[in-house]
Structure 1
Amino acid sequence: MKNSLKVHAALFVVALIYAANYSISKDVMPRYVGPFGLVLLRIVGAAVFFGVLSRLIAPQDHIRGRSDQLRAVACGILGIGLNQLLFFSGLNLTSPINASLIQTIAPVVTVLASAVLLGERLTLPRLAGIGLAAVGAASIILSRGPVAAGGQDGLLGNVYILLNATAFGIYLVLVMPLMRKYHPFTVLARIFLVGAFLAVPAGWQQVQQPEYSSFPGSIWAAIAYMVICLTILAYLLNNWALKYASPALLGAYIYLQPALAVGIAVALGKDTLTLTKALQALLIFGGVFLVSRKPRPVAPLEPVQD
């Protein structure tokens, strides 16, 4: 298989894994395991896996220096701990389609964080894209659908997903220098370890409550999927593909994930696609498209000829 096909295959599998999770997670929580309990299982499992893998593959590689250590801690808090706690708390309350659509604003947050932290230029199309995506996300967050009517706080769930996307967008900006400087497994082992310090106290009570002996095989399979596929396999494939994929290609797969999530949720009867949701999706997709476009380089002024 050619390398370009491998990249497409890896990105597609990652998108499919994340898309299926929106519906699979709803089967597990809150009936069998609470959202924080699931986060604990995921993060601790990944911390152990990447910790062992980093010692086997890059035993001499260590994160050094005060600034890199602090950056790794910030990445673990934002990208692993808060990111996962907010995501599963939000998904527990809102619908799969709402969650998948709101999460697509992460690239918008990344651009804003890059402008603030790295001094990148905000062009007029990008500002328009930020506004367009914000309108789409706000319309989803403030809408009251079947989930909210069914007794759950859908508004709060949508806000949690928005905060999750914000934390993840900032994390992407912070983690990039570490990924370029150290082996990816070294970075993943450290940030998952930091995330575990948040996940264990938050999820310890919920992980002890269930009667695991009463779980049907389908629920065990769903939990295994979230720990192995969603956490470990997706991170491995994503980090490999990031070495070869162009920004335009990554942008295309940003749109594919919610499309797959919608298809899976509707096919499994977990959610319904309405005209309103389709229009909200178009607003967000349009905004992300404008934000994801690279600004044209400013041409240097030619000297005036006498």
Structure 2
Amino acid sequence: MSHTLPLSAPSPLAPRLSDLALLLVAVVWGTSYGVAKGALVLYPVLGFLAVRFLLTFAVLLPALLRAPAPERRDALVAGLPLGVLMLGIFLCETFGLALTQASNAAFLISLCVVFTPFAEWWLLRQRPERAMFAFAAVSLLGAALLSGGYTGRWGWGDALMLAAAVLRAITVCQTTRLTRRRNAPVLALTAVQSGVIGVGCLLLALALPGKLPPLPSLTQASAFWWACVYLVAGCTVFAFVAQNWALRHSSPTRVGLLTSSEPAFGALFAVFWLGEQLSATGWVGGALIVGAALWTMARRGDAQH
């Protein structure tokens, strides 16, 4: 099966399939926090991110090398700046989480769902439908209830999480803009993005004070490598490819709304898999987030054709 996405008119089923793919991305990303948390006990954050994305790059490198020269060039032209944006997102989220409360971080990153319609309006000159703003408001209310809202004083961690939310909104729109008139295969595009993130994290880990420890042993720290396998296969390869593909069939605002259901699925994973507790308010918030996503999916006419 070819992984090159033609620029011709997509199948009528493409918008519905892209909605389903994005909801699955949200589910997978929601589980990533619990999985990554266990791996980070065994290795530093930046080193772990470098391992995760360099492994992804190695897995997808054959797709980049096999692509015809024009398509490979398109993947590089679009993937390099998008990779830099995504590196900024991961760095802001990583250090932001370390410097603020978890509830603050969860609420502030969810502001992406509000920023995306305005970023689409500004960067792509496309005003989203009014219903999308309503869905975004419902999703944001759900995120506030799920996380407990914003608490405490404003600090550097809060600023970094807010920057990550802004960068997420910009990245979704820039992906649409940079790939709209280019025939970049999604696997090749994802390979370039992953390479930029992996190399960036590795260089930063080596440049910061403190020596990067040796990688965990395959035999004595198998949990670390199983976590890497899951995050590479599900949360990076599948999720990045699905999002890059879905953006060719959906508006950035729609993509942002569907993937914004990630915190709700993350909370469900924490409850049923990690044994954590969720308050009644949290359950209501999660239901609002998922409801907004399903409500968005039900509006078939909103998909971009």
TM-score normalized by the length of structure 1: 0.68
| Partner residue in 2 for 1:303 | none
Paired residue secondary structure (1:209): coil
Map 1:47-86; keep pairs closer than 5 Å: 47-63=57-73, 69=77, 72-78=79-85, 80-86=86-92
1:14–1:123 CA distance, 2 compared to 1 (3 A)? closer
- The answer to whether the Cα contact below 8 Å between 1:82 and 1:164 also exists between their aligned partners in 2 is yes
Paired residue secondary structure (2:71): coil
- The answer to whether the Cα contact below 8 Å between 1:105 and 1:288 also exists between their aligned partners in 2 is no
| Partner residue in 1 for 2:94 | 88
- The answer to whether the Cα contact below 8 Å between 1:102 and 1:162 also exists between their aligned partners in 2 is yes
1:83 partner amino acid? I
- Structure 2 CA distance for aligned equivalents of residues 161 and 113 of structure 1: 17
How far residue 26 of structure 1 moved from its aligned partner, in angstroms, is 1.3
1:218 and 2:218 are equivalent in the alignment: no
- Structure 1 CA distance for aligned equivalents of residues 65 and 49 of structure 2: 24
Which of 227, 231, 239 is matched with 1:234 structurally? 239
Aligned length: 281
Query: Matched residues, percent identical?
Result: 21
- The answer to whether the Cα contact below 8 Å between 1:10 and 1:241 also exists between their aligned partners in 2 is yes
- Structure 1 CA distance for aligned equivalents of residues 295 and 92 of structure 2: 27
- The answer to whether the Cα contact below 8 Å between 2:32 and 2:235 also exists between their aligned partners in 1 is yes
- The answer to whether the Cα contact below 8 Å between 1:44 and 1:196 also exists between their aligned partners in 2 is yes
How far residue 13 of structure 1 moved from its aligned partner, in angstroms, is 3.5
1:142 and 2:142 are equivalent in the alignment: no
- Structure 2 CA distance for aligned equivalents of residues 161 and 95 of structure 1: 11
How far residue 221 of structure 1 moved from its aligned partner, in angstroms, is 0.8
- The answer to whether the Cα contact below 8 Å between 2:67 and 2:188 also exists between their aligned partners in 1 is no
CA displacement, residues 111-138 of structure 1 (integer Å, 9 cap, x when unaligned): 1222332334478777777777777659
| Partner residue in 1 for 2:9 | none
Structure 1 unmatched ranges of 5 or more: 145-152, 297-306
Which of 119, 129, 133 is matched with 1:113 structurally? 119
1:14 and 2:25 are equivalent in the alignment: yes
- Structure 2 CA distance for aligned equivalents of residues 103 and 188 of structure 1: 23
How far residue 157 of structure 1 moved from its aligned partner, in angstroms, is 5.3
| Partner residue in 2 for 1:46 | 56
Larger Rg: 1
Paired residue secondary structure (2:43): coil
| Partner residue in 1 for 2:213 | 209
- Structure 2 CA distance for aligned equivalents of residues 125 and 7 of structure 1: 19
CA displacement, residues 141-173 of structure 1 (integer Å, 9 cap, x when unaligned): 6336xxxxxxxx997656544332221110111
| Partner residue in 2 for 1:185 | 187
How far residue 72 of structure 1 moved from its aligned partner, in angstroms, is 4.8
Structure 2 unmatched ranges of 5 or more: 1-11
Q: CA RMSD in A?
A: 4.6
